[in-house]
Amino acid sequence: MNIKNKTALVTGGASGLGAATVKRIVTAGGNSVILDIQEDKGQALASELGKAAVFCRTDVTREEDVTRAIAEAKEIYGEIHLCVNAAGSGWAERTITKNGPHSLANFEKVIRLNLLGTFNVASKAAFAMATNIPEKSGERGVIINVSSTAAFDGQIGQAAYAASKGALVGMTLPMARDLSSLGIRVVTIAPGLFDTPLLGILPQENVRALNESVPFPKRLGSPEEFALLVEHIILNSYLNGEVIRLDGALRMAPK
């Protein structure tokens, strides 16, 4: 699908991988709708990019928020063609600790944001895409969900996070099959270690150790490299129902 004059919903679009994706889509001639709860960052990014971007404060776990954001996006730009679900968060807690079992509330919170939030936006975006006028290829839309290498190599303390991201991997093919008759593709990216604000709070010695853990290239991935893959997935119409690891051949150790 050509990106020019197309409109993308980008969750978590105010920072990190989402912000890089927003910029990439605008650079390619498309429009980006930034769905995030970080109002200051989201508004600043939209202002920086001009008329091709708009911010909609959105909690992806709330149906009414997502419904409203999609309605606003359609009112401003017309059809919605693309959806990139980059909103998510991590959590570190062992299955049992000296204080007792893993907090069920914390487990549920991670699942609710990473899994239910992604499905909430993806399903509602797909419903909006279903009425698009198809391109000559028959395509009406592209949905890109963001998992993690933790889906395959979950570390100690990542039971909740790995479960939420593993579920996105499992959801990819059936969702692609569900939407195939409508010309909507579904692809999932599983990033490894990326230079995002989340890792920016770590001490430099920890960052150096993370760099060395990547086989090649020995560094953190850049958000721009993630956005470049997003662009390729959108442009390559034969990519569908697939999960792509983007990790420099990294396989995470137990801890």
pLDDT at 201: 61
Cβ atoms of residues 139 and 237 within 8 Å = yes
Tell me if 208 is assigned to some domain: no
Catalytic residue annotation: 161
Query: Average pLDDT, stretch 77-91?
Result: 95
Burial class (CB in 10 A: 0-12, 13-18, 19+), 40: exposed
Task: Note the pTM of the prediction, 2 decimals.
Answer: 0.95
> If you compute the radius of gyration of the chain from its CA atoms, what whole number of angstroms results?
18
The number of distinct structural domains making up the chain is 1
Tell me if 121 is assigned to some domain: yes
Confidence of residue 211 (pLDDT cuts 50, 70, 90): confident
Query: Average pLDDT, stretch 42-59?
Result: 98
Cα separations in angstroms, 176 against 135, 144, 184: 18, 11, 7
Tell me if 216 is assigned to some domain: no
pLDDT at 217: 95
Tell me if 251 is assigned to some domain: no
Tell me if 235 is assigned to some domain: yes
Tell me if 1 is assigned to some domain: no
pLDDT at 255: 84
Residue 89 belongs to a domain with what CATH number? 3.40.50.720
Domain that holds residue 82: 7-192+222-245
Query: Average pLDDT, stretch 62-69?
Result: 98
Beta-strand pair 242-246/184-191: parallel
pLDDT at 17: 97
Cβ atoms of residues 183 and 126 within 8 Å = no
Under DSSP, the state recorded for 195 is -
Tell me if 201 is assigned to some domain: no
pLDDT at 208: 83
Share of the chain above pLDDT 70, in %: 98
Tell me if 172 is assigned to some domain: yes
Query: Average pLDDT, stretch 39-53?
Result: 98
